[in-house]
Amino acid sequence: MTIKGVIESLDKGRVQTSSFRKVSSQATTAGVWCDLSMASGNPSPNFYSGLELSSTTLEGNKGIYNGSGKYLIETLQYVGSTNGAPLTLTLCDYLMFYPQIDMDSVDLQSMDNSISLPRYESGEGVMMFVVAQYPYIGGADFTIKYTNSENVSDRTTGLIRSNTAVNIGTFIHGATNTANSYSTFIPLQSGDKGVKSIDSIQFNSPNGGLAAIVLVKPLYTTTIREFISPTETNTITDSSLLPEIKQGAYLNWIALPNASISGVPISGLIKTIW
């Protein structure tokens, strides 16, 4: 869409504004990303329910509502506690997940890919994270093999170290100043442009708990800098971006907390145009 098209959409009222309010019941750890789709509130929590180790999609109408909106034009975010600021948030289109990974098993766990990506079908630009579905111990190394956007299978992430954040909803690979740990998304093999599907995962030692591998397309990142001071962003004027939202997209946030955000309301709006 051109700038002229954006102005026409706004002038003609082709605008959808949707609210969200998420409150996590789980403690979080400073410097470790967490998944707000699993938190209670609006939209309703996502528990990554599905067949063990099987590719599973999410229904778009169960995420943040985007109506007829095809492009993200504005966001507003607010946090209701000093624990929640600063707070970095990334809006993602959640594409597919593989639930019930047994992190105590040291056997190779192969994935069932009967269902393929519903959007961004080639996998280009698609990233992955591993989120805890059940409390864990941590400290174990693991490797993921995947098929990339060029349809090459058995690409490897290399060795990844699980953190000890332990709580449901946290990224098990996110940590600070720890060898083989990574922040937001798990790095891909050199030269790869995205993930089409997951082939397998294997832990080198028992880690405890259950997890899901989640494939997402990151759309927009923003930061709440101060408590009780809402952050408003216009994707064009602030970032020179106009993120496209595909039909059927399941939208939700991942977050990088400064402290535990258990019981902390995180609310706001997204505005989309078409």
Give me the residue spans of the domains in the chain.
25-273
Cα-based distances in Å from 180 to 74, 141, 183, 238: 36, 8, 10, 34
CA distance linking residue 208 with residue 200, whole number of Å: 18
pLDDT of residue 182: 65
Cβ-based neighbour number of residue 137 at 10 Å: 14
State whether the Cα torsion 201-213-118-58 is positive or negative. Answer: positive
Mean pLDDT of all residues belonging to the chain: 94
Cβ-based neighbour number of residue 206 at 10 Å: 15
What is the rounded radius of gyration, in angstroms, for the C-alpha atoms of the chain? 18
pLDDT along the chain (274 residues), means of 10: 91 95 93 96 97 97 89 94 89 98 98 98 98 96 97 95 94 71 85 98 98 98 90 94 95 94 95 95
> Tokens 């470790």 correspond to what residue?
32
DSSP conformational letter for 187: P
Cα-based distances in Å from 209 to 153, 170, 189, 268: 27, 12, 27, 32
Question: pTM value?
Answer: 0.95
Q: Are strands 265-273 and 210-224 parallel, antiparallel or unpaired?
A: unpaired
DSSP H or E stretch at residue 238: helix 235-239
pLDDT of residue 228: 80
